[in-house]
């Protein structure tokens, strides 16, 4: 199980963890997802320049050099990750998510990801306007 990397103080946020560069940024992002019981494959990114996490508020961010699109074969959905992704993470959920969109008929911004305690084998993606979709968690594990 990956451990959260040693704390660095970001000048703009006291008590935050910040890692720069792709390898260190991805390690931090993946370890935070794992710590909060979310599948590590929900953030498939490239050329990460910075990742950060503020434990006291759950706020996290990931910056990458370019946007990335990934097709999740098991659920047949194309997902787009912008150059900056932010949100508030808590056990089994990310709220106030920005920078992630999924292709339905049109692109839909995803603003919430939840795994309910009563149904931990499913993950719910919620967009603006109340549109939501539910998929098996296993489709978002790394390597899927």
What confidence score (pLDDT) does residue 14 get? Answer: 60
The structure tokens listed for 58 are 């759950």
**Element spanning 24, H or E:** helix 22-35
The structure tokens listed for 134 are 């539910």
Domains contained in the chain, CATH given: 16-140 (2.30.240)
143: left (phi over 0), alpha (psi -120 to 50) or beta: left
Mean pLDDT (the chain) is: 87
pLDDT of 7 over the 80 cut:
no
What confidence score (pLDDT) does residue 110 get? Answer: 95
Higher pLDDT, 144 or 99: 99
DSSP state of 119: G
Q: pLDDT for 115-137, tens place per residue?
A: 988 888 999 999 988 899 999 99
pTM of the model: 0.84
pLDDT of 101 over the 90 cut:
yes
Q: pLDDT for 23-54, tens place per residue?
A: 999 999 999 999 999 999 998 888 999 999 99
Among 54, 73, 52, 55, CA closest to 64: 52
What confidence score (pLDDT) does residue 119 get? Answer: 80
């Amino acid at each position: 199980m990956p451990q959260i990397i040693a704390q660095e103080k970001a000048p703009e946020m006291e008590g935050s963890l910040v890692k720069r560069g792709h390898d260190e940024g991805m390690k931090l992002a993946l370890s935070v997802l794992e710590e909060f019981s979310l599948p590590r494959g929900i953030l498939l990114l490239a050329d990460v320049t910075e990742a950060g996490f503020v434990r006291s508020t759950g706020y996290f961010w990931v910056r990458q050099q370019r946007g990335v699109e990934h097709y999740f074969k098991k659920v047949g959905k194309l997902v787009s990750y912008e150059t900056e992704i932010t949100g508030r993470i808590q056990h089994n959920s990310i709220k106030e998510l920005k920078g992630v969109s999924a292709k339905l008929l049109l692109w839909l911004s995803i603003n919430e990801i939840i795994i309910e305690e009563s149904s931990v084998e499913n993950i719910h993606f919620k967009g603006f306007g109340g549109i939501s979709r539910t998929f098996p968690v296993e489709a978002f594990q790394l390597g899927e």
